[in-house]
Amino acid sequence: MCGIAGWVNWDRDLTHEQGTLFAMGETLVCRGPDADATWLSEHCAFAHRRLIVVDPSGGAQPMTRTFGDRSYTVVYNGELYNTEDIRKELLARGYPFQSYSDTEVLLVSYVEWGPNCVDKLNGIFAFAIWDEARQNLFMARDRLGVKPLFYTRKGASLVFGSELKALLAHPEVEPVVETDGLAEVFAIGPARTPGHGLFKDVHELRAGWHLTATREKLDAKVYWQLESRPHEDDLEKTTETVRDLMVDTVTRQLVSDVPVCTFLSGGLDSSAVSAIAAEAFRKAGKPPLHTYSIEFEGMEEHFEANSFQTGLDSPWARKVSEFIGSVHHPVVFDVPEMVDHLLTPLSFRDAPGMADIDVSLYLFSREIKKGATVGLSGESADEVFGGYPWFHREESLKADTFPWSLKLQERVNIMSPELRQRIHPEEYVADRYHEALAEVPRLPGESAEEARIREISYLSITRFLPTLLERKDRMTMGASLEVRVPFCDHRLVDYVFNIPWRLKTAGNQTKGILRRAMRGYLPEDALARKKSPYPSNPDPRYLAATRARALELLDDPDSAIRTLVDPQAVKALAEASYGKLEHRPWFGQIMATAQLFHYLIEIDAWIRKFSIRLV
């Protein structure tokens, strides 16, 4: 994986703008600690930070290739899993290659097929290609949005980057947040409306979209989206297809010139990925797969099962590891270390995020990086196969809002009257929700129940999953660890999206079709285990630390958040948190009271760190 940044200006000579490009690239060092380079032409300049995974000598960027009198230059962040398939096709068409890198295959694909090259790609990617002859810029992002890409256009100038901080390093981009940006943070966050970059005039290139920029205009188009189709396969054929797709997807994603490992919580999703990877290692005659799990000191002492977290992960991680024959590494953290890093994720996310879940993932990735450069994760299986509680709970299915954020009123209650009046949170969330529903591809003749499940599936894949992918990308790349997500393979997502609910829940089990597909790869009791999400820290010391710091902000005259919250409401929440609270998260499955205090702390630090102007 890498970090990319660039600047196009059709009215200005950029050949002497090395300093600006260097500054933009420097913000992305953690994404690419192994090499850096810039490339400047009259009207286009690129910066690249490289994390070397494939072809150390031949994959250097920015990469330029010339064919006749046409010259093309690319900066690319990602990984292609069908590189050799495309290379063979291009070789048959007479194209020569100077390396075995996927970067060159990507660039030559664009030379041959133009914008349609994205239809050929199986992978995770965000890239930009400058066509010197045409003087245009082409940018694209992978179908599920695993890799990030932000941009802003002002007059004859276009600036882009892997992360928001790269854009903010450019003198033309100011840290200004308008009303809708505040609404995103306070009412939608830590999720974000697709395409929204938080800062004024900054946009996110949406997942499954590409964009062509010329002097005259920006032309953004969708090239992939979920489609609804009748599912013709019976249970056995569906099971077989899911299994085949899983095996092919995981096996493709093991390609690397550096050490590869897997995340293994002991849950169904990471266990399935790890089991397939372990078998692929054995068949290839490689040493045993290394697997990693996260644990907290005192977890057994403080953990209380609830409807969201049903049990501890660690015994299951060990059990699965023994079954698949991996070398397992439990990584253990304690509260003091996590408290020391409360605000560390902000430097990687550039926005308030998922509180302690971000912190632990970053620290976890930092430990994994000591032994591996690439990891495979079980992220997105719950969105694709319908594993979340909101697929199964009547209150969620009937709610006229995002099912992972049913407690909007509790968020509104801690906003200052001025902020409520400014952002109109209930109206803003309702608008974003109904915009999302309007996108859902309908299937004629579907029952009301199936239609609602399709809606929840679409919302989960296009609105909830991006939050987790952003977290995964920023926290792992913050530690210079590349993480791949097999459940985001578009072929698998395409197929499973249209499997009827009665088959997805085969055997009356959550994700029943996936459990059937993984028979033989995992122990039967592990296959039957109920879902348990990525763990949050149940230690009361974490709640005490976030509560205390949030209360301190209310008394700090320099606090950036004082005018945005209702001090009395926050203090009342703090007082109530001294007692035993029912675990009903305000976001997702595990972001409850302690995480809400943490989120407020992050908002305050975000405004200060980036010198944000609220207008």
Sequence-separated (6 or more) residues with CB below 8 Å from residue 428? 180, 183, 187, 188
Q: Give CB contacts under 8 A, 24+ apart, made by 312-319.
A: 313/265, 313/266, 313/267, 313/532, 313/535, 314/266, 315/266, 316/265, 316/266, 316/267, 316/271, 316/526, 316/529, 317/264, 317/265, 317/266, 317/291, 317/293, 318/266, 319/266, 319/523, 319/526
The amino acid at 363: L
Contact 337, 294 (CB under 8 A): no
What's the CA gap between 257 and 48, in Å, rounded?
Answer: 20
Give the position of tokens 């490009």: 21
Helices 83-92, 102-113: inter-axial angle, 10-degree rounding? 50
CA 371 vs. chain centroid, Å, equals 23
Contact 272, 378 (CB under 8 A): yes
Sequence-separated (6 or more) residues with CB below 8 Å from residue 421? none
* φ, ψ at 139 (rounded to 5°): -130, 150
Q: Read off the tokens for 193.
A: 């409306």
Contact 5, 161 (CB under 8 A): yes
Contact 144, 224 (CB under 8 A): no
DSSP state of 293: E
Contact 78, 57 (CB under 8 A): no
Angle at 150 between CA 258 and CA 67, to 5 degrees: 65
Give start and end residues of each alpha helix (H) in 555-592.
567-576
Active site residues: 2
How many residues are recorded in the chain?
615
The amino acid at 365: S
**CA-closest candidate to residue 346, choices 536, 170, 4, 599:** 599
CA 445 vs. chain centroid, Å, equals 34
Q: Order of strands, edge to edge, in the sheet holding 136-141?
A: 63-67, 70-80, 123-131, 136-141, 209-213, 218-222
